[in-house]
Amino acid sequence: MKFKISNLVFVLPLLVQFFLVSCKKKETPETPVAKTFQLQLVELDGSLVSTSLTKEVGRQPKIMLSFSAPLNRAKVLSSIVLGESATNRSSLTLTYLKNDSVLVVTPEQPLKGLTKYQFNISSSLEAADGSKINGIYELLFQTGFDAVDKFPQLADDKLLDTVQRRTFAYFWEFGHPVSGLARERNTSEDIVTSGGSGFGIMTIPIAIERNFITKGEGLERMKKIVGFLKNTAQRFHGAFPHWLNGRTGTVIPFSQKDNGADLVETSYLIAGLLTAREYFIGGSPDEIALRNDITSIWESVEWSWFRKNGENALYWHWSTNFGWDMNMKIQGWNECLITYILAASSPTYGVPKEVYDQGFARSGGQVSNQSHYGFQLPLGPSLGGPLFWSHYSFLGVNPFGLKDAYANYEQQVVNHSKINHAYCVENPKKFAGYSNVCWGLTASDIPNNGYAANAPGNDIGVITPTAAISSLPFTPKESMDALKFFYYKLGDKLWGPYGFYDAFSFKDLWFASSTLAIDQGPIVIMIENHRSQLIWNLFTKSAEIKTGMRALGFSAPYL
């Protein structure tokens, strides 16, 4: 792309005004015109440019500036800036050519990869004869991908340990100090999330087995969490809200009418609690009391009441103020299979098989049997939807060998992940960065403080690390390749105090600064299910879960 100098955008000084005063015999002398000089050409790495954003500039760019007069060298360094911002400047090397009328500017050290930079010339720049530059100039550009490893290479097991340990810190170090529950995101204060807390509870047995914490420490945290849930947290027919105040236990509305029970979030929390109940099986008074308290919470959830006057379906929300106004029936295919499994497994408020068949399965309406990229997908929309649909229910439920009247669930989750990977490799929208090692579309934060359920059918150019990493049991090679790419190649931008940040976009040159409980939890859990099947084994060991899944028509080696 080439531009004539006439295309360059300058901030022009005010024209000198001439005042003519009429006199009989004498005119007022003209005001002297201040001498100025001009920036005539700007070249970036050998190409003429304007002030527009230029993509994929190298990390050691050469900016050549041609002026209409020789420069005053003493004023140059204080008049030009190259940096990420006005305060974050790069040190520069200056080279003068053509009797000081051409200046070549290069950074002393390579710039960061995948970073936006600005280059400025201020009005203080002077020519050798004292004349002033006739405007200011700004050039914006961004650097391209930097393939250098950001961290030393580790053996695969050590790398998985590193990712699990750092991500677990979100729940352990950043857990709410009063309730022990998981905060919604790393910027939350007292907002804790019931579903994300269920995921966080599942990470505690992993952390104990991996020696991140001791069993005694894990037990103390579980006592805090369970005590708060049993004695302090607000409940609605036994179900928890989406958000709670981590200090007071009172509901924090998720939306205007979502200020009561959230049955799906409750199911994630209960799944975590039942997993912990199967782990802390010792005979000490503390472990016995913990198991009894978890059973009390589990058995108090009135799953059958959420049939809304006896319908053959479960409903997502109920509020003391708004009743069933949200009117959201829980139907598949999506992330809510676990809700029906728990409802059927409840020893106190269970639901019959027809609620699952007619409600979630929609009397077979969730079956699609589509094929994409050569992979058969039993359930759901075209191309499978966001990947969290294959994660949340299967954090505890092992899909390998699992079947019912509607699907082979191993085929569902494996092929869903392979389709997501194949779509990103094909990259039909030609978004920057997508590749066989940079893939994964699921719900996450997006640029401009938004949030979206990213998927092949809703692709805006945002990659979410939890999508590929949490598919590790289903696509081990593709997911491990992605994990290594995120860690080694993007670690300077994507790796933070609680593991990987939530999402990024090469298209927008944006990296999130957020970490979310519902995205961090599956990373720890699914890495472990890939390594040892620990959480799958614990959750499906529950006698109630086995009974409930059989009642719904499921078959699997562990049932």
- In this structure, of 78-87, 127-136, 270-279, 472-481, the range with the lowest mean pLDDT score is 78-87
Q: Are residues 184 and 132 in the same domain?
A: no
Q: Dihedral (C-alpha) 106, 110, 111, 113: value to the nearest 10 degrees?
A: 140
The answer for residues whose C-beta is within 8 angstroms of residue 284's C-beta and 6 or more apart is: none
Domain that holds residue 504: 156-551
Q: Dihedral (C-alpha) 253, 255, 261, 262: value to the nearest 10 degrees?
A: -120
- Can you tell me which residue has the tokens 């759901």? 380
Is residue 28 domain-resident? no
> pLDDT tens digit string along 439-490?
999 999 999 999 999 999 999 999 999 999 999 999 999 999 999 999 999 9
In this predicted structure, the answer to whether residue 185 has a pLDDT above a threshold of 50 is yes
Q: What percent of the chain has pLDDT over 90?
A: 90
Q: Are 170 and 517 in contact (CB under 8 A)?
A: yes
Residue 342 confidence (pLDDT): 99
What's the number of domains the chain is made of?
2
Q: For residue 180, what pLDDT band results from cuts at 50, 70 and 90? A: very high
Q: Are residues 132 and 204 in the same domain?
A: no
Q: Which residue has the higher pLDDT, 12 or 278?
A: 278
Is residue 248 domain-resident? yes
Task: Specify the DSSP class assigned to residue 372.
Answer: E
Q: Are residues 334 and 475 in the same domain?
A: yes
Residue 199 confidence (pLDDT): 98
Is residue 263 domain-resident? yes
Q: Are 388 and 199 in contact (CB under 8 A)?
A: no
Residue 355 confidence (pLDDT): 98
The answer for residues whose C-beta is within 8 angstroms of residue 520's C-beta and 6 or more apart is: 167, 170, 171, 199, 466, 498, 499
In this predicted structure, the answer to whether residue 346 has a pLDDT above a threshold of 70 is yes
> pLDDT tens digit string along 370-428?
999 999 999 999 999 999 999 999 999 999 999 999 999 999 999 999 999 999 999 99
Q: For residue 27, what pLDDT band results from cuts at 50, 70 and 90? A: low
Q: Are residues 218 and 358 in the same domain?
A: yes
Please provide the average confidence, as pLDDT, over all residues in the chain. Answer: 93
In this predicted structure, the answer to whether residue 14 has a pLDDT above a threshold of 80 is no
Domain stops at, among 120, 143, 166: 143
In this predicted structure, the answer to whether residue 15 has a pLDDT above a threshold of 70 is no
Q: Are residues 300 and 393 in the same domain?
A: yes
Residue 32 confidence (pLDDT): 63
Residue 137 confidence (pLDDT): 92
Is residue 426 domain-resident? yes
Residue 52 confidence (pLDDT): 73
Residue 2 confidence (pLDDT): 36
Residue 136 confidence (pLDDT): 92
Domain stops at, among 80, 115, 143: 143
> What is the C-alpha separation between 348 and 300, in angstroms, rounded?
8
Closest-CA residue to 370 (of 415, 431, 340): 415
Is residue 22 domain-resident? no
Q: What is the Cβ-side half-sphere exposure of residue 327, based on CA atoms within 13 angstroms?
A: 1
Q: Are residues 130 and 270 in the same domain?
A: no
- 3-state class (DSSP) for residue 130: coil
Domain stops at, among 95, 120, 143: 143
Is residue 25 domain-resident? no
Q: For residue 50, what pLDDT band results from cuts at 50, 70 and 90? A: confident
At residue 193, what are phi and psi to the nearest 5 degrees?
A: -115, 130
Q: Which residue has the higher pLDDT, 314 or 145?
A: 314
> pLDDT tens digit string along 194-252?
999 999 999 999 999 999 999 999 999 999 999 999 999 999 999 999 999 999 999 99
CATH of residue 228: 1.50.10.140
* Mean pLDDT computed over 29-42: 80
> pLDDT tens digit string along 260-275?
999 999 999 999 999 9
Q: Are 82 and 90 in contact (CB under 8 A)?
A: yes
Q: Are residues 160 and 137 in the same domain?
A: no
The answer for residues whose C-beta is within 8 angstroms of residue 375's C-beta and 6 or more apart is: 415, 418, 419, 422
At residue 340, what are phi and psi to the nearest 5 degrees?
A: -70, -35
Q: What is the Cβ-side half-sphere exposure of residue 313, based on CA atoms within 13 angstroms?
A: 16
> pLDDT tens digit string along 522-543?
999 999 999 999 999 999 999 9
> pLDDT tens digit string along 501-513?
999 999 999 999 9
Q: Are residues 216 and 326 in the same domain?
A: yes
